[in-house]
Amino acid sequence: MMTTLLTTSRPALTDLTEQERMFQEAARDFANAEIAPKIMEMDEAARIDPSLLPQLFEMGLMGIEVPEEYGGTGADFFTSILIVEELSRVDPSIAVLVDVQNTLVINAILRWANDEQQARYLPRLASDTVGAYALSEAGSGSDAFALTCRATPDGDDWILEGHKLWITNGNEAGFFIVFATVDPDAGYKGITAFIVEKEFEGFSVGKKEDKLGIRASSTTELLFDNVRVPAGNVLGEVGKGYKAAIETLNEGRIGIGAQMLGLAQGALDHTVRYVQEREQFGRPIGSFQGVQFQLAEMATEIEAARLMVYNAARLKDAGQPFVTPAAMAKLYASEMAQRVASLCIDLHGGYGFTKEYPVEKLYRDAKIGTIYEGTSNMQKQTIAKALMR
């Protein structure tokens, strides 16, 4: 049952551009045809099927905002959000690969890289190279800038020492945006971003985490042992890495909201189909009013999350303030996804507790939404501060 294709309709946004609708439909078709049959195998093996990566690049899904002059699609941020939502309906593990590539790595390069860096890295990101975003460390989770990874100047270069944890796309990435401190005494003002190539001597990818959910997505440790990074690989200005990280994560949170939105929609799609097939007391369980009310409540919560996520993405594209809407969208969508996925298992009964049906996996995948790219408590803090200004 894990490979059942999604066909249940969902509310459509009426103001999608032709390009946005084209990408949305292409991503949906690709997810159903190519990803769905591989979900169980990838989840059990805890790795992405390598045949999917070239297809994601070929479709333009790995370089959505990369300008056409660099081989990208040249679409907007909102298109990235639509793609992440559609992929998440089928497999959030693939969606987070695409999400990090577009809403974190490419956004950071577009915003902070100089012309030479953009010409060097954007064509790779659009054609064949996965990127990763390396901020977290053992002692820096919600306190994102309590970094111990150290960058020391050495002539025209920098020497990186330390390690990173919980880095998404660690196994697949060809280069990494790494945040390190050049002056621990300067606090956040010492944080600097570096572009680290996988081939740099002294750099290695460490342990891959064995996770509860999104298991096919690689989450790894990164090790830096006297890694020499050219001065030309500093992203932005020395000492301004905190600003690059904060602004990029604000955008990335909309991507996580889209991931959780798509996950919840996928769980509901499977459940709507199931309750019309499963019979108890001589009739489909979907005919019982109690079940219908639960479906209605889930559909309403999902649509509320969709409007919040879409609104935050549109505000970002319009150059309007979006930090608080992004925090609200991420907070609500991630907590909503956990509620919906849990209830969908309930409606599947004993079957929902088995790996035979896809809601079990989606339930496990949902848990990470309230943790990465800012916990729910951190989102609440952002929202509260905005209220009290």
Give mean pLDDT, residues 33-55: 98
CA distances from 305 to 34, 242, 333 (A): 27, 29, 5
CB 34 within 8 A of CB 52: yes
Check whether 11 has a pLDDT greater than 60. no
CA–CA separation, 281 and 299 (whole Å): 26
Kindly report, residue by residue over 190-221, the tens digit of the pLDDT: 999 999 999 999 999 999 999 999 999 999 99
Check whether 225 has a pLDDT greater than 70. yes
CA–CA separation, 284 and 276 (whole Å): 5
User: What is the length of the chain?
Assistant: 389
> Is the domain 243-387 a CATH 3.40.50.620 member?
no
Q: What's the confidence (pLDDT) of residue 2?
A: 43
Token output for 183: 């002056």
Check whether 10 has a pLDDT greater than 70. no
Residue 297: CB atoms within 10 Å: 13
CB 292 within 8 A of CB 117: no
Amino acid (1-letter code) at residue 139: G
Check whether 159 has a pLDDT greater than 70. yes
Kindly report, residue by residue over 96-121, the tens digit of the pLDDT: 999 999 999 999 999 999 999 999 99
Give mean pLDDT, residues 31-44: 98
Q: What's the confidence (pLDDT) of residue 119?
A: 98
Which residues fall within 8 angstroms of residue 207, CB to CB, at 6 or more apart? 220, 221
Q: What's the confidence (pLDDT) of residue 145?
A: 74
Give mean pLDDT, residues 265-284: 98
With pLDDT > 90 as the criterion, what percentage of the chain qualifies?
A: 92
Check whether 317 has a pLDDT greater than 90. yes
Give mean pLDDT, residues 133-152: 90
Domains of the chain: which residue ranges? 18-130, 132-240, 243-387
Strand partners, 197: 175
Q: Are strands 157-168 and 234-235 parallel, antiparallel or unpaired?
A: unpaired
CA–CA separation, 181 and 191 (whole Å): 4
Mean pLDDT of the chain: 95
Token output for 20: 């946005």
Token output for 387: 């209220």
279 part of the active site? no
Q: What's the confidence (pLDDT) of residue 143?
A: 83
3-state SS, the chain, equals: CCCCCCCCCCCCCCCCCHHHHHHHHHHHHHHHHHHHHHHHHHHHHCCCCCCHHHHHHHCCCCCCCCCHHHCCCCCCHHHHHHHHHHHHHHCHHHHHHHHHHHHHHHHHHHHHCCHHHHHHHHHHHHHCCEEEEECCECCECCCCCCCCCEEEEECCEEEEEEEEEEEECCCCEEEEEEEEECCHHHHHHHEEEEEEECCCCCEEEEEECCCCCCCCCCEEEEEEEEEEEEHHHEECCCCCHHHHHHHHHHHHHHHHHHHHHHHHHHHHHHHHHHHHHCEECCEEHHHCHHHHHHHHHHHHHHHHHHHHHHHHHHHHHCCCCCHHHHHHHHHHHHHHHHHHHHHHHHHHHHHHHCCCCCHHHHHHHHHHHHCCCCCHHHHHHHHHHHHCC
Which residues fall within 8 angstroms of residue 338, CB to CB, at 6 or more apart? 366, 367, 369, 370
CB 352 within 8 A of CB 341: no
Check whether 327 has a pLDDT greater than 80. yes
Residue 238: CB atoms within 10 Å: 17
> Is the domain 18-130 a CATH 1.10.540.10 member?
yes
Check whether 389 has a pLDDT greater than 50. yes
Which residues fall within 8 angstroms of residue 177, CB to CB, at 6 or more apart? 104, 105, 108, 109, 131, 132, 133, 134, 193, 194, 195, 196, 235
Check whether 87 has a pLDDT greater than 80. yes
Q: What's the confidence (pLDDT) of residue 9?
A: 45
CB 252 within 8 A of CB 104: yes
CA–CA separation, 102 and 80 (whole Å): 7
Token output for 201: 């001597």
Q: What's the confidence (pLDDT) of residue 29?
A: 98
The class of domain 132-240 in CATH terms is mainly beta
184 falls in which pLDDT band (50, 70, 90)? very high
